[in-house]
């Protein structure tokens, strides 16, 4: 079982998320197989020291509950105040992983600390 630790100090969200997604998928291995989940764990440290521009704090996240009137919009800045950097990074990494049966299992091997 391989364990990777990534320092998030002064890194952009998207570039960090792609690096983490590649490690979780096992694309750094010579025997990469897209339908198998590698046995990796990835830990992100210093998540609160991410490099986020002020214009990027205005990015809007949209969620829909499925009920009438259930469309909710929230800016990245408000989500940071409410949930912290952990949720923002999880959302970014989840978006970089393929939408299949292995995605939730891969995300279980991700740990983020502020």
Q: What percent of the chain has pLDDT over 90?
A: 95
Q: What is the mean pLDDT of the chain?
A: 95
16, containing H or E segment = helix 13-25
Query: In degrees rounded to 5, what are phi and psi of residue 6?
Result: -120, 130
Task: Round to whole Å and give the CA distance between 33 and 53.
Answer: 36
**Confidence at 1, pLDDT banded by 50, 70, 90:** confident
Cα pseudo-dihedral 96, 98, 104, 106, rounded to 10? -70
Residue 75 corresponds to which tokens in the numbers above?
A: 């800016």
Encode pLDDT of 70-105 as tens digits.
Answer: 999 999 999 999 999 999 999 999 999 999 999 999
Report the SS3 class of residue 66. coil
Q: Does domain 2-52+83-112 have CATH number 1.10.10.10?
A: no
| Average pLDDT score over residue span 50-64 | 94
Q: What percent of the chain has pLDDT over 70?
A: 100
The residue ranges of every structural domain in the chain are: 2-52+83-112
């Amino acid at each position: 079982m391989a364990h990777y630790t990534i320092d998030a100090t002064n890194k952009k969200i998207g570039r960090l998320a792609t690096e983490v997604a590649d490690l979780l998928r096992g694309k750094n291995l010579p025997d990469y197989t897209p339908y198998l989940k590698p046995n990796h764990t990835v830990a992100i440290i210093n998540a609160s020291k991410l490099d986020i521009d002020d214009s990027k704090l205005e990015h809007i996240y949209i969620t829909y509950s499925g009920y009438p009137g259930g469309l909710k919009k929230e800016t990245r800045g408000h989500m940071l105040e409410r949930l912290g950097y952990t949720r923002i990074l999880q959302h970014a990494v989840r978006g970089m992983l393929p939408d299949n049966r292995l995605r939730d299992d891969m995300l279980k091997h991700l740990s983020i600390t502020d």
